[in-house]
Structure 1
Amino acid sequence: MTLAAPAREAAPPGPATSASTSPTARSMWRGSRGMVLLGVLVVLVSAGAALLAGTSAEGRRLDPADTSLTGGRALAQILRGHGVRVERVSTVDDVVRLDGPGSRVLVSDTSFLTDDEISRLSRTRAHRLIVGTVDGLSRLAPGVTPSGDATTRSREPRCAFPSAVRAGSAHLGGTLFTVPRGSIGCYAAEDGASLVHSPGSRTVTVVGDDSFMTNMRLAEDGNAALAMNLAGAQPVLIWLVAPDQPRAVPGSGEASAADLIPPGVPWAVVQLGVALAVVAFWRGRRLGPVVVERLPVVVRAAETVEGRGRLYRARRARDRASATLRAACAARLVPRLGLSGEATPIEIVAATALRTGQDAVWVRSVMYGPTPTGDAGLIALAGHLDTLERQVREQ
């Protein structure tokens, strides 16, 4: 059995020769130089964003929680590793709460304290370690007064203070102080000492420069040893730092849209935009001119239909053959009947019967009936379907 169906003939053979050529180094460079330049631009933008993000973050000087070059996180970690309890506080109330003879308070900034708070701080029982230039020094370290300035550099202790002698040379200088009677002056310069230690039941140690305790300088000379000896002499170190800057919170009426956006988001948006432009350029351009090649074999449409019919006949696939014929007939009838592509079989049968005048039961049996049991039934089915199509076209 051979099934015949209308089909269009294949297009005539294309040109006999091919226009494709092997790419050369010059053509490859011409085709990819735009991508290379865009890739370099992406790298430069990413590097610039990383550098700006790294330099825009301001560290909190000598803060035990800060990891910048001027922070004090490294010293705090070393102290904790040696069993010292480091308490980071920002108010005098917290200092008073932790106050005791077994604690030491580290003060490097008093600009955020009031006169009353400085007075309260001076009445605590904890040992004191004052580094850098602070306000209220006369109340926190009685008798120690500034006497000049000196260049910060590596200096020898040249004193009998055990903590300084064990540490050796250190990066000190800055403000120089007079040495009161009964106190010890170390790391001296022309106008005074960079470190003054006043012994007693409550020791007071004043250092004119705090850079030796920062993350950047801690590994130089004997800075780490001196910082450990001064700050870790007691079991508890109360590290007083300025309070964090208050930030506007959502719902407070003080936060703008820019305040709620993290600082890295704008740079991330820029990088995503550049990446999107690169991808759009890459996917939007062709890799080269269109190549037209001759097809190796040209098969006529009629031969394809005939070959498929022979396969159905060889496998006795009357179910597939009848389903294909009926589906093709319904697909051709639907637009001629004015129906939509989602029309149901009931609608197709009703419209076909109305258009052709045939009985609806007969139309249903032809278009959606059982599978033919033999080749003769399949041929008859094809004839009936052809009759329905012809009647629909003629009406």
Structure 2
Amino acid sequence: MTSVSPDARRIWRGVRLPLAVVLLLVLTGTLLVLVQGEQTTGALEPGSYEPGGGRALATLLEREGVEIPVVRTAAEAKGVARDATVLITRPAYVPENAFAEIRRTAEHVVLVQPSSATVEEILPGVRSTDQLETETRAPDCQAVDPVAAGSATMGGLRYTATQPRAQECYGGSYLEVPGPQGTVTVLGAPEPLTNEWLANEGNAALAMRLLGKHERLVWYLPTPADPSLEAEKKPLSELIPAGWSYAALQAGVAVVLLASWRSRRLGQVVTEPIPVVVRAAEATEGRARLYRKAKAAAHAGETLREAARARLRPLLGLTRDAEPAALVDSVAVRTGRAPAEIGALLYGNPPADVSDDAALVRLADGLDVVEREVERS
């Protein structure tokens, strides 16, 4: 008998090609990371090469001699904002007191798409009215920078201001608010500053004039993890309207009542008599009749063989997953019979050798004899 289970050589032949492919992919990825070095990602990140990144604009500004410190917390921004232009990419994450100090010390502050709530909080008199489609727009105002840049890709949020000297350009998606402490410019969309749109229309000219006026541009990328925001955080209970709290309480009461109505009534365990008791001998006989009716003598023979093999393995000290060759050899040693005879009896060919009831009886008798010989040995 020869084993049909795969050995180590067959397993290695089967997996070596997939392993080689995986190894090649890992090495290629590692090499690319080492060659390219560390890269930043994210919207308006000055080191990001993504379409929404700001690497192209940062490179142009640096070539013009503009120093660009990148900061991510309010404390860092306040420390370097004096006499500089400050670009704030996510105004919603800037504490109100920090913005006031930055505006007081900076020469120019540029806000990118602040929300309606944010702009009303940090810029009194300015509000966001509606949403504009992002497209090429003409300045349509008298502000110096938009007029010099010409048409640009603008849109997003639209802003209006009550200050008399405020300039609304590009359909309101550009708002310039001068003040005694410096100018604040609000952009309704980030597109003019991004890698993808910088080369279109007058976007580069507008971005360079906005952010390159001074020797230093503070590129402020606020994050929710800023420690300065800890004082402004509120518990969840304060953020939920009172009406929602009452509704949640009523829903909870309804759920409890429904669960009480539909839950099971627990009590003592009730025993019920089994309607029919079937003896093991009758079950075995019924199964045998099904095999005979289906003319499945071969299947019945394989069932007998498998049962005999399952009983022989513990008698011989073998595990359940023992190889057929090991079982045949052990039985042959115990009984003194030839391995070929034992192999034909326990395994044989796919059971075509058991074709009728007589052959099935002979097989069962042979298996019983072998089991008794092994037990006696």
TM-score, normalised by the number of residues in structure 1? 0.45
**Larger C-alpha radius of gyration, 1 or 2?**
1
Larger RCO of the pair (alpha carbons < 8 Å, separation 6+): 1
Give me the TM-score of the superposition, normalised by structure 2.
0.47
